[in-house]
Structure formats: C-alpha cells, structure tokens
Amino acid sequence: MLSLVASVAMLAAQDQPPRLRTVLDNGAIVLVEPMPQERVVSVQLFASARYVPETEATHGFRHLIEHLLAVGDGGLDKRLETQACFLRASTLRDAMQIELTVGPTQLQLALDTLAGFLHRPTFTQAQIDKELRVMRDELAMRDDSLLLASAAWDAAYGDRGLDPLGTFDSMYRATPEKLEETYDRQFAPEGLVIAIAGPVDMDKATAMASRILVPLSKSHFSVAQGDRVGKPGRSQADAFGECRGAIVPGFDTPQTAAALSAALAIGSELPGCFVIYTPTTQNGLVLVGRTDSTSGLGFYVDGLANGNSLYRRGQSLAREWVQRQLRTASADADIRGLLLCQGAANRPELMIDQINAMSKEEFNAGIEAFKSGKTVIAVGTR
C-alpha cells in the first residue's frame, strides 16, 4: 500500500493550497478541499458522460442506471441514515453524480460506499421493470421550470440536447446487457472524479480516495462526438410559463459570464423568475424564465434598450452565484467535481475571473443574447 500511495504522490499535479487536486495515472482525479468550519464532509463521485452521450437509442439509460445503483442492496440507505449519513444521486448532461454526506470522522465509510459503485453490478430485467414504474412517476412530476428548460435545450441543440432524465419510449428498451455496456462507458476511470470537501486532512483524504481509484485500468473508449452547436429557435413544453435561453460557449468564457450576469439581472427585475445554468465546457444555455405567468418576461427583455442600469447588479449577482457555491462542503464538491470530470484544468474561479473582468459592453451583449431572434424561447402550452 505504501508504494501505491507513493506513486500517486509522484503523479500528482497540484492546485495551490488550501485544496489539492491529484491526477492519477489512469486519468481519474481526486480533489480535496479542507473546510474546517463545515459540519459535514461531502464526498462526491462524478462519472463523466463523455463516452455516453444521450442518443435516441440510449436516451435515459444513464438515469436508469443511477436509480438502480442508488437502490443498492436495499438496505444501504437504512445503514447510512442510522449513522447520520445520506446518499444522493443524480444524472446530469455531463456526468452522473453520487454524493455521500457524512460526519467528520466518517470519510472511510463514505469512500467504502462509493467504491461499491465502481464495480459493475449485475442488472436484471425484473429490477429494470420495477424501477421504471417509479421513474414514470418521477418524469410525471417534473416541475414546469425543468420542462421549459428541456424544451429550450431541444430547440437549441436538437438531438444533441436531449434531457438526461430520458423518456419512457427509450427507457423501456433497456436490457441488462445494454445497461451494462452503458455502465462501462459511464464509469471509465479517466472520466472519474472524487471530490471531497469539509473538515478533513487534505493529504490523508487524498490518499484514502486515491486508493479506490488507482487500481482501475484506463479504458479503450473514445469520444464519439464533437461539441454541440446551438441555434436560436422556439419550442413548446407541456408546462406553464415561459423561458428564454442564451446560447453560450463554455463556462469560462466572457460570453457565458455576461449571459449569466444578464439572466440574474433580468430575474431581479421580475419577481418569481428562475435562472438555470449548469457549468459545462461545452456549448450550453443560460436560462431565465418564470412558471407563475406566461407573460412579461419576453416583453420586458425585448423592451430593454440596453442593460446599463443593471450592469453592476448583474455582475454582483453572478459573482455571488458562483461564490455561494464555494461556501458549503456540498456545493463546493459539487461544482468542482462537475468541472473536473470535464477537464483537469477546470476551476470555478475561472468563471469569477470572467465575471470580474466583464465590461458594460459585454454585459449588454449578454442582455442581447436573450432577445428575440438571438435567443431560444420555450413557452408552456398549459
């Protein structure tokens, strides 16, 4: 074991303290950020979707796997909760995320639990069918904001913007064999990140997490698709409300900083608005919308001559939007892990740098990106 840890240390590419990012030989990454003031340790496993983009044929398979993994042996949740720990899993466009929230002395418990997800399970058709019954309810319960967002992605990116939650038409085609193949691609070691934040010892936590990842062999998969390309458009959702999406490049660009600032500024003028942006290295959408009304947002945005009066407010809100995600163990491990599984150099601070450097002209361009003709519009049909 000593030699193993030593080889990890030699391969480490490090961030500056107070956090340590370690890139392992197989491409997996461990990120540890000590946050001594936090009450809990958040331990998050991210598995990149780089080898398993959503397609019409596999739409929702990753989501189905997430459900089947999280169920575990049926007693996992009870065991964890008895120890005041909690497991949460979710499927995002760019990754699958499994989070263990534990106490300061329970890091090993969290890592042991996560290690269990790194061995491909055997799926059965009976398990799949049973879980699909529950997932039907999950899909039926999606909030209007998610339905509008999904419709906006569809309009902007077509089949490259499929909602990671999936649909029944595709998920009902899942078989154990298909899911196992998807699992292998989803959990390819070079796309794995363990992000740990909370009251932990940085070096010890890094060594403990590395022990789980080091034995995994690099995969032979290759990335099948280039970056998606968005276009303005319009779509409808079986929902109530409206939303607009600015088509933006990666998370660390001036355009994304400006669009996020603009969306938050617009939202501050229209009470009840939601803003959605999930940081990604790919082209994406910054969305602003409302689900309590079907009118007002488009009228307001198109009527804005410029955003000069909102510039400072938008910049403050965007900066705080990012910084707030760095203040709690769970949010910190979340954003850092998600970015790292898309590239070892990605850091949320790059977003803050762009927001701080944003000029008034760039902010106005961010506002323009939400105007008719340049934006993607999703409207509810209910």
Partner 1 sequence: MIGLVLALASVQANPVTDVIAPGAKVVAVDAIVRLPALGAREYAAAKVMAETMADEVDGYSQGDMRDMGARAGESLKITLMPDHIRIEFGALPAEADTAISYVGHILKNSRFPEDSIAKAEAEIPFRKKSLWATAIQPVKFDFRRVRREDVLDMYHRICRPENVWLCVGGPIDARDAENAWSAVLADWTVTKPPRLPANPTPLGEASDVPGRETMVELRGSSFPGNDPAMPTKLLALIGLGCGKGAAMFQTLRETEGWSYRQEAFLWPTPEGFEPRLIMASGDKTAPDDLAKGMRDQLILAVKNWDASDLARAEGMAQGIFERGFAMSPLYFNSSWPISGSLEDETFLAGYWTMKTGSPWNASRMLGEMALVSLSDFKDAAMEILTDSKAHVLPARG
Among 130, 178, 211, 371, binds partner 1 (CB under 8 A): 130
Nearer to partner 1, 83 or 308 (CB): 83
Residue 125 CB, nearest approach to partner 1 (Å): 15
Hey, which residues between 183 and 242 contact partner 1 (CB under 8 A)? 240-241
- Point out which span in 80-88, 246-254, 356-364, 365-373 binds partner 1 (CB under 8 A): 80-88
Nearer to partner 1, 48 or 101 (CB): 101
H or E element, residue 56: none
- Point out which span in 12-20, 132-140, 298-306, 338-346 binds partner 1 (CB under 8 A): 132-140
Among 173, 204, 312, 360, binds partner 1 (CB under 8 A): 312
Residue 219 CB, nearest approach to partner 1 (Å): 31
Residue 163 CB, nearest approach to partner 1 (Å): 16
Q: What is the DSSP-derived secondary structure letter of residue 309? A: G
List, in order, residues 6 or more apart from 98 with CB less than 8 Å away. Answer: 44, 45, 66, 69, 70, 87, 88, 89, 114, 117
How many alpha carbons lie under 13 Å from residue 132 in its C-beta half-sphere? 18
β-partners of residue 168 are none
Identify each DSSP E strand in 50-151 by its residue range.
86-91, 95-102
107, two tokens: 């890091």
297, two tokens: 């947002």
Q: Are 38 and 329 in contact (CB under 8 A)?
A: yes
Nearer to partner 1, 235 or 268 (CB): 268
β-partners of residue 21 are 31
Neighbours of 6 (CB within 10 A): 10
Hey, which residues between 250 and 269 contact partner 1 (CB under 8 A)? 268-269
Could you say whether residue 143 binds partner 1 (CB under 8 A)? yes
Among 9, 11, 15, 77, binds partner 1 (CB under 8 A): 77
Nearer to partner 1, 85 or 107 (CB): 85
- Residue 235's closest CA among 226, 245, 225, 224? 245
Could you say whether residue 168 binds partner 1 (CB under 8 A)? no
Could you say whether residue 103 binds partner 1 (CB under 8 A)? yes
Phi, psi (deg, nearest 5) at residue 322: -75, -50
Task: Give the number of residues in contact with partner 1, rule: CB under 8 A.
Answer: 48
Residue 241 CB, nearest approach to partner 1 (Å): 7
Nearer to partner 1, 273 or 365 (CB): 273
Phi, psi (deg, nearest 5) at residue 46: -115, 135
Could you say whether residue 382 binds partner 1 (CB under 8 A)? yes
Could you say whether residue 1 binds partner 1 (CB under 8 A)? no
Task: Go through 236-259 and write b for each residue having 16 or more CB atoms within 10 A of its CB, e for each that does not.
Answer: ebebbbbbbbbbbbbbbbbbbbbb
Positions that interact with partner 1 (CB under 8 A): 37, 39-40, 71, 74, 77-78, 80-87, 101, 103, 130, 133-138, 140-141, 143-144, 240-241, 268-269, 271, 291-293, 312-314, 316-317, 319-321, 323-324, 327, 382
